[in-house]
Amino acid sequence: MALSGKIAVVTGAAMGIGKAITEILLQNGATVALLDVNEPAAKALMDELQNKNEKDRALFLKCDVESEEQIQAAFQKTIETFGRVDILCNNAGIVDETNWKKTISINLEAVISGTYLALEHMNKMTGGQGGVIVNTASMTGVYPVQGCPVYTATKHGVVGFTRAMAINSTASGYGIRLNAICPGPVKTELLNNSSLKLGQFSPLQQSANQILEVMGILSASDVAEAVLELVTDETKNGEALVILGKGKHFVAFPSM
C-alpha cells in the first residue's frame, strides 16, 4: 500500500510509539489524525510538525479512548475533514496493575471499540474502501511477563482479537487487513514508569528487569518501522509481529 493520499488515525499519538508511528506515516506521505488525551504533549508534537512542514497533513483531536463517544466523534471529525479513513493504529495503552480495570479499558476495550468503529467506515461490504488496522500489543501478548498479569492479559486479548478479526475480514470480504505489533521493551515514558505500576507484584520487578537485559531495549522509531511494514505489505493479514532488540519474527501459531 503506497501511503501518499492515505488517511490514518493513530491513538496515543502524542508520545512514545504513537508519536513515532505518526511521524513515519507523515514522512511516507500519509495524512494523520492524532488522537490523544494528553493535550500539551500533542500540541508540542504539532509544533514540531509545523517546523517540518507536515502540519497541514496532521490533525490533533483530543480523545480519551476509554470513551466510545469520544472515539466516535474523533472518527467523525476525521472523515468530515479528510473524507475517509484508510489506516487505523490502535496504539494507546497503559501499565497499571493496581487500577487494572482501567488497564483493561484502555488496552483492550478501546482497541475493540476503535476496530469496530473503523469497520463502520472502512468495510467494503458497507460502502467503505477497505484498508488496514494495526493494533499495538506487546511481547507480553505472546510471552507472559512476571509482574504484570493484567497487562499481559490485555495484550494476549489484543493479539487474539486481531487474529480473529483478520479471519472474519477475509471470510466476509471487508477488504481490511488486521495485524498486531508485539514489541519488547521500548524506551518510552510507559516503560520508564512501569516499575512503579506493578502494584502487588512489585517484588517481581527484578525478574521483569532481567527481560531488559536479555531482550534489549528498542527505540520507538524501531517499532514504527515495523508498523510501517505491516501497514504497507498487503500480503500481511492476521499476523503478530514480535520485535525485540535482538531482532523480529512473525509468531508461528499452532494450526488447529
Ligand X SMILES: CCCCCC(=O)CC\C=C/C=C/C=C/[C@@H](O)[C@@H](O)CCCC(=O)O
Ligand Y SMILES: NC(=O)C1=CN([C@@H]2O[C@H](COP(=O)(O)OP(=O)(O)OC[C@H]3O[C@@H](n4cnc5c(N)ncnc54)[C@H](O)[C@@H]3O)[C@@H](O)[C@H]2O)C=CC1
Binding site for ligand X (CB under 6 A): 95, 138-140, 145, 147-148, 151, 184-185, 191-192, 194-195, 205, 208-209, 211-212
Q: Which stretch binds ligand Y (CB under 6 A): 46-54, 61-69, 125-133, 202-210?
A: 61-69
Chain position whose Cβ is nearest to ligand X: 138
Q: From the list 37, 132, 176, 240, which residue makes contact with ligand Y (rule: CB under 6 A)?
A: 37
Q: From the list 26, 33, 49, 65, which residue makes contact with ligand Y (rule: CB under 6 A)?
A: 65
Nearest distance, CB of residue 176 and ligand Y, angstroms: 20
| Catalytic status, residue 151 | yes
Nearest distance, CB of residue 238 and ligand X, angstroms: 21
Secondary structure (DSSP) of 187-231:
-SHHHHHHTTS-GGGGGGHHHHHHHHHHH--B-HHHHHHHHHHHH
Nearest distance, CB of residue 192 and ligand X, angstroms: 5
What are residue 182's DSSP bridge partners? 242
Selection from 33, 11, 49 nearest residue 85 by Cα: 33
Nearest distance, CB of residue 153 and ligand X, angstroms: 12
Give the containing element (helix H, strand E) for 122. helix 110-122
Q: Is the dihedral of CA 201, 203, 205, 208 positive or negative?
A: negative
User: Is 215 within 8 Å of 243 (Cβ atoms)?
Assistant: no
In degrees rounded to 5, what are phi and psi of residue 205? -60, -35
Q: How far apart are the C-alpha atoms of 87 and 134, rounded to whole Å?
A: 8
**Which of ligand X, ligand Y, none binds 192 (CB below 5-8 Å, type-dependent)?**
ligand X
Of residues 65 and 132, the one with the C-beta less far from ligand Y? 65
User: Is 150 within 8 Å of 128 (Cβ atoms)?
Assistant: no
User: Is 198 within 8 Å of 206 (Cβ atoms)?
Assistant: no
Active centre residues (catalytic) = 151
Binding site for ligand Y (CB under 6 A): 11-12, 14-18, 36-38, 41, 63-66, 91-94, 106, 136, 138, 183, 185-186, 188-191
